[in-house]
Amino acid sequence: SKRVAILISGGGSNMVKLAQSMAGDHPARPVLVASNDPKAGGLDRAAEMGISTAAVDHRAFKGDRPAFEAALSAKIAAANPDIICLAGFMRVLTEGFVRHWEGRMINIHPSLLPLYKGLHTHQRALDAGDQEAGCTVHEVTAALDDGPILGQARVPIIAGDTAETLAARVLVQEHALYPAVLRRFAAGERAPVYLP
């Protein structure tokens, strides 16, 4: 089966859903969860699930992004993954890293791309007066939050929503979308899936 490395920066709820989904007849299995933050809660959750973990603290590299990535790449290479899933990984990756993994690396972003690349997606959707929001899984290419779309899920925006309430509603959909896309991606399927 395909070997999957998952990169996280925080609580790792998407990572947990991805890891749990890789069971039974799934075409992939988790071989590494790595974080740029040694304190990321998701590292403990991965270890509890019996998955190898690694931490490379970006702060130790004082802004030297290539040096940080070389250290991260060494951890990733040791796990020999076929696929990398970015799941709440909050460091921008260099073009060299992205090119190396192009076609084998996917990301989940909390907006209906191409809307709202970058940060603060939910507040920006509210500020724009949008009636719906959502999340996107896409192949990672050199341009930020760009690349072929592999799946999207949408949710309504409700009167009184804050960035927090909207984020929580979108996150529920992330947890359904990302496992659905990974299963297809690991099987070689690239046509986008739309939920719900």
Our finding on whether 84 is near ligand GAR (CB under 6 A) is no
Joined together, the tokens standing for residue 62 give 């004082």
* Residues whose CB falls within 8 Å of the CB of residue 26, separated by 6 or more in sequence, listed in order: 1, 183, 186
Which member of 81, 174, 179, 186 binds ligand GAR (CB under 6 A)? 174
12 assigned binding-site residue: yes
Joined together, the tokens standing for residue 155 give 């949710």
Which member of 2, 6, 7, 12 binds ligand GAR (CB under 6 A)? 12
Our finding on whether 108 is near ligand GAR (CB under 6 A) is yes
Our finding on whether 8 is near ligand GAR (CB under 6 A) is yes
Is 175 marked active-site?
no
Our finding on whether 123 is near ligand GAR (CB under 6 A) is no
d(CA 21, CA 16): 8
**Active-site residue, selected from the candidate residues 26, 100, 109, 175:** 109
Helices (H), 38-137: 41-48, 65-79, 95-101, 121-127
d(CA 129, CA 123): 10
Distances (CA, A) of 28 to 1, 4, 23, 33, 81: 5, 7, 8, 14, 10
The one segment of 20-28, 57-65, 70-78, 108-116 that binds ligand GAR by CB under 6 A: 108-116
Our finding on whether 165 is near ligand GAR (CB under 6 A) is no
Q: Which residues bind ligand GAR (CB under 6 A)?
A: 8, 10-15, 42, 87-88, 90, 108-110, 135, 171, 174
